[in-house]
Amino acid sequence: MSTATTDVTNDQRKPRLLALAGSLRKDSYNRQLAASAAQLARDAGAEVVEVNLRDYPLPLFDEDLEAAGIPDNARALKDLFATADGLLIASPEYNGSVTAVLKNMIDWVSRPDGQFARAELFAGRRAALFATSPGGLGGMRGLNHLRDILQPLGTWISPTMLAVPSSMNIFDEHGKLVDEMATAQLRDLVQQTIAAIPTTTIQA
Protein backbone atom coordinates (compact mmCIF):
# COMPACT_ATOMS: atom_id res chain seq x y z
CA MET A 1 0.00 0.00 0.00
CA SER A 2 1.21 3.51 -0.77
CA THR A 3 2.80 5.61 1.98
CA ALA A 4 -0.12 7.97 1.38
CA THR A 5 -2.38 5.49 3.16
CA THR A 6 -0.49 5.19 6.44
CA ASP A 7 -2.56 4.27 9.47
CA VAL A 8 -4.14 7.10 11.42
CA THR A 9 -3.22 6.97 15.11
CA ASN A 10 -5.37 8.15 17.98
CA ASP A 11 -3.64 11.51 18.15
CA GLN A 12 -3.53 12.19 14.42
CA ARG A 13 -6.54 13.01 12.30
CA LYS A 14 -6.94 12.18 8.65
CA PRO A 15 -5.59 14.64 6.06
CA ARG A 16 -8.33 17.03 4.92
CA LEU A 17 -8.68 17.96 1.28
CA LEU A 18 -10.93 20.16 -0.80
CA ALA A 19 -11.82 18.89 -4.28
CA LEU A 20 -13.10 21.39 -6.82
CA ALA A 21 -13.30 22.14 -10.52
CA GLY A 22 -12.95 25.44 -12.31
CA SER A 23 -16.16 24.89 -14.24
CA LEU A 24 -19.79 25.78 -13.52
CA ARG A 25 -21.31 23.51 -16.16
CA LYS A 26 -23.57 20.83 -14.69
CA ASP A 27 -22.09 17.98 -16.73
CA SER A 28 -18.55 19.30 -16.82
CA TYR A 29 -15.96 16.62 -17.50
CA ASN A 30 -13.61 18.38 -15.10
CA ARG A 31 -16.19 18.26 -12.33
CA GLN A 32 -16.45 14.53 -12.96
CA LEU A 33 -12.67 14.28 -12.80
CA ALA A 34 -12.61 16.21 -9.51
CA ALA A 35 -15.22 13.84 -8.09
CA SER A 36 -13.11 10.88 -9.17
CA ALA A 37 -10.05 12.40 -7.47
CA ALA A 38 -12.10 12.95 -4.32
CA GLN A 39 -13.07 9.28 -4.18
CA LEU A 40 -9.51 8.16 -4.78
CA ALA A 41 -8.38 10.42 -1.92
CA ARG A 42 -11.00 8.90 0.38
CA ASP A 43 -9.77 5.46 -0.64
CA ALA A 44 -6.28 6.61 0.37
CA GLY A 45 -7.49 7.56 3.86
CA ALA A 46 -8.22 11.28 3.52
CA GLU A 47 -11.28 13.29 4.41
CA VAL A 48 -12.56 15.19 1.37
CA VAL A 49 -15.06 18.00 0.92
CA GLU A 50 -16.25 18.43 -2.66
CA VAL A 51 -16.79 22.10 -3.49
CA ASN A 52 -19.04 23.09 -6.38
CA LEU A 53 -18.23 26.69 -7.30
CA ARG A 54 -21.76 27.03 -8.70
CA ASP A 55 -22.89 27.02 -5.06
CA TYR A 56 -20.64 30.00 -4.26
CA PRO A 57 -21.34 32.70 -6.86
CA LEU A 58 -19.02 35.67 -6.48
CA PRO A 59 -18.82 39.10 -8.10
CA LEU A 60 -15.67 39.87 -10.04
CA PHE A 61 -13.03 40.86 -7.54
CA ASP A 62 -13.15 44.61 -6.93
CA GLU A 63 -11.42 46.37 -4.05
CA ASP A 64 -14.34 48.79 -3.77
CA LEU A 65 -16.70 45.84 -3.23
CA GLU A 66 -14.24 44.34 -0.79
CA ALA A 67 -14.10 47.59 1.19
CA ALA A 68 -17.87 47.57 1.45
CA GLY A 69 -17.81 44.10 2.96
CA ILE A 70 -16.53 40.66 1.97
CA PRO A 71 -19.28 38.72 0.16
CA ASP A 72 -20.82 35.94 2.21
CA ASN A 73 -19.75 33.32 -0.33
CA ALA A 74 -16.16 34.53 -0.21
CA ARG A 75 -16.26 34.22 3.57
CA ALA A 76 -17.73 30.72 3.31
CA LEU A 77 -14.99 29.66 0.90
CA LYS A 78 -12.29 31.11 3.13
CA ASP A 79 -13.68 29.12 6.05
CA LEU A 80 -13.57 25.95 3.94
CA PHE A 81 -10.00 26.60 2.83
CA ALA A 82 -9.00 27.17 6.45
CA THR A 83 -9.91 23.54 7.24
CA ALA A 84 -7.89 22.04 4.38
CA ASP A 85 -4.42 20.55 4.31
CA GLY A 86 -4.53 20.06 0.56
CA LEU A 87 -6.37 20.82 -2.65
CA LEU A 88 -7.50 18.68 -5.57
CA ILE A 89 -8.17 21.04 -8.47
CA ALA A 90 -9.53 20.08 -11.87
CA SER A 91 -8.83 23.05 -14.08
CA PRO A 92 -10.52 23.33 -17.48
CA GLU A 93 -8.63 25.21 -20.16
CA TYR A 94 -10.35 28.27 -21.64
CA ASN A 95 -8.45 29.94 -24.46
CA GLY A 96 -5.22 28.39 -23.30
CA SER A 97 -5.53 29.47 -19.67
CA VAL A 98 -7.55 29.01 -16.47
CA THR A 99 -11.24 29.78 -16.25
CA ALA A 100 -12.49 33.14 -15.02
CA VAL A 101 -14.48 31.56 -12.19
CA LEU A 102 -11.42 29.74 -10.84
CA LYS A 103 -9.14 32.77 -11.02
CA ASN A 104 -11.79 34.97 -9.43
CA MET A 105 -12.24 32.52 -6.55
CA ILE A 106 -8.50 32.46 -5.94
CA ASP A 107 -8.40 36.26 -5.95
CA TRP A 108 -11.13 36.50 -3.29
CA VAL A 109 -9.82 33.70 -1.07
CA SER A 110 -6.23 34.94 -1.15
CA ARG A 111 -7.07 38.46 0.07
CA PRO A 112 -6.22 39.64 3.61
CA ASP A 113 -9.30 40.46 5.64
CA GLY A 114 -8.40 40.96 9.29
CA GLN A 115 -8.91 37.28 10.04
CA PHE A 116 -6.55 35.79 7.46
CA ALA A 117 -3.33 37.29 6.13
CA ARG A 118 -2.71 37.64 2.41
CA ALA A 119 -2.38 34.19 0.79
CA GLU A 120 -2.58 32.50 4.20
CA LEU A 121 -5.21 30.07 2.97
CA PHE A 122 -3.00 28.89 0.10
CA ALA A 123 0.42 29.03 1.77
CA GLY A 124 1.65 25.60 2.77
CA ARG A 125 -1.25 23.76 1.17
CA ARG A 126 -0.40 20.76 -0.99
CA ALA A 127 -2.18 20.76 -4.34
CA ALA A 128 -2.79 18.26 -7.10
CA LEU A 129 -3.54 19.92 -10.44
CA PHE A 130 -5.24 18.00 -13.21
CA ALA A 131 -7.49 18.54 -16.18
CA THR A 132 -9.27 16.87 -19.03
CA SER A 133 -10.40 18.17 -22.39
CA PRO A 134 -11.70 16.80 -25.68
CA GLY A 135 -8.44 17.82 -27.37
CA GLY A 136 -5.14 16.04 -27.51
CA LEU A 137 -3.32 18.21 -24.95
CA GLY A 138 -5.86 17.50 -22.21
CA GLY A 139 -5.75 21.04 -20.82
CA MET A 140 -2.04 21.19 -19.98
CA ARG A 141 -1.63 24.83 -21.02
CA GLY A 142 -4.22 25.87 -18.45
CA LEU A 143 -2.52 23.76 -15.77
CA ASN A 144 0.76 25.55 -16.40
CA HIS A 145 -0.96 28.89 -15.84
CA LEU A 146 -2.70 27.66 -12.68
CA ARG A 147 0.64 26.48 -11.29
CA ASP A 148 2.09 29.93 -11.99
CA ILE A 149 -0.80 31.53 -10.07
CA LEU A 150 -0.65 29.25 -7.02
CA GLN A 151 3.08 28.89 -6.49
CA PRO A 152 3.65 32.59 -5.62
CA LEU A 153 0.88 32.19 -3.02
CA GLY A 154 3.01 29.56 -1.30
CA THR A 155 1.14 26.47 -2.49
CA TRP A 156 3.15 23.30 -2.99
CA ILE A 157 2.28 21.85 -6.40
CA SER A 158 2.70 18.16 -7.07
CA PRO A 159 5.62 17.74 -9.49
CA THR A 160 3.34 15.74 -11.77
CA MET A 161 0.36 17.54 -13.31
CA LEU A 162 -2.11 15.32 -15.10
CA ALA A 163 -3.75 16.31 -18.40
CA VAL A 164 -6.15 13.71 -19.79
CA PRO A 165 -7.13 13.99 -23.48
CA SER A 166 -10.33 12.74 -25.15
CA SER A 167 -12.57 13.57 -22.20
CA MET A 168 -15.68 12.32 -23.99
CA ASN A 169 -14.27 8.77 -23.93
CA ILE A 170 -13.00 8.36 -20.36
CA PHE A 171 -16.23 8.51 -18.36
CA ASP A 172 -19.29 6.28 -18.39
CA GLU A 173 -22.86 7.54 -18.71
CA HIS A 174 -22.96 8.19 -14.95
CA GLY A 175 -19.85 10.38 -14.97
CA LYS A 176 -17.59 7.72 -13.46
CA LEU A 177 -13.99 7.65 -14.63
CA VAL A 178 -13.56 4.30 -16.39
CA ASP A 179 -10.33 4.77 -18.35
CA GLU A 180 -7.84 2.51 -16.59
CA MET A 181 -4.72 4.49 -17.46
CA ALA A 182 -6.26 7.82 -16.45
CA THR A 183 -7.50 6.28 -13.21
CA ALA A 184 -4.07 4.90 -12.35
CA GLN A 185 -2.38 8.22 -13.14
CA LEU A 186 -4.92 10.17 -11.10
CA ARG A 187 -4.56 7.76 -8.18
CA ASP A 188 -0.78 8.20 -8.21
CA LEU A 189 -1.15 11.99 -8.30
CA VAL A 190 -3.63 12.03 -5.42
CA GLN A 191 -1.53 9.71 -3.28
CA GLN A 192 1.61 11.71 -4.04
CA THR A 193 -0.15 14.86 -2.87
CA ILE A 194 -1.47 13.29 0.33
CA ALA A 195 1.97 11.88 1.12
CA ALA A 196 3.45 15.39 0.80
CA ILE A 197 1.29 16.76 3.63
CA PRO A 198 3.55 17.13 6.69
CA THR A 199 2.35 15.04 9.61
CA THR A 200 2.76 18.09 11.84
CA THR A 201 -0.15 19.77 10.01
CA ILE A 202 -2.57 16.90 10.64
CA GLN A 203 -2.31 16.51 14.38
CA ALA A 204 -5.66 16.32 16.14
pLDDT in tens, the chain (204 residues): 344 444 444 457 899 999 999 999 999 999 999 999 999 999 999 999 999 999 999 999 999 999 999 999 999 999 999 999 999 999 999 999 999 999 999 999 999 999 999 999 999 999 999 999 999 999 999 999 999 999 999 999 999 999 999 999 999 999 999 999 999 999 999 999 999 999 877 755
- 103 is a domain residue: yes
In a domain, 1, yes or no: no
Nearest to 75 by CA among 113, 127, 19, 104: 113
Residue 4, pLDDT score = 42
Q: 168 in a domain, yes or no?
A: yes
Three-state DSSP class for 203?
strand
Number of alpha carbons in the 13 Å side-chain half-sphere of residue 126: 21
Other CB atoms within 10 Å distance of the CB of residue 62: 10
Domain with residue 146: its CATH number is: 3.40.50.360
Whole-number Å distance between alpha carbons of 16 and 85: 5
Cα–Cα distance for residue pair 91/146, rounded to 1 Å: 8
What's the DSSP call for residue 40?
H
Looking at the DSSP bridge assignments, the partners of residue 49 are: 18
Domain containing 131 equals 22-197
Question: CA–CA separation, 106 vs 32, rounded Å?
Answer: 21
What is the model's pLDDT at position 42?
A: 98
Residue 187 lies in a domain: yes
Distance CA(182)–CA(92), nearest Å, equals 16
Backbone angles phi, psi at 86, to 5 degrees: -155, 170
On whether residue 9 sits in a domain, the answer given is no
pLDDT of amino acid 200:
75
Residue 157: how many CA atoms within 13 Å on its side-chain side?
19
Task: Report the Cα–Cα distance between both ends of the chain, in Å, rounded.
Answer: 24
How many residues are recorded in the chain? 204
Residue 157: phi, psi to the nearest 5? Answer: -105, 130
Q: Report the pLDDT value the prediction gives residue 28, as an integer from 0 to 100.
A: 96
Is 170 within the bounds of a domain? yes
**Number of domains forming the structure of the chain:** 1
User: Residue 42 falls within a domain, yes or no?
Assistant: yes
What's the CA gap between 33 and 191, in Å, rounded? 15
Does residue 82 fall inside a structural domain?
yes
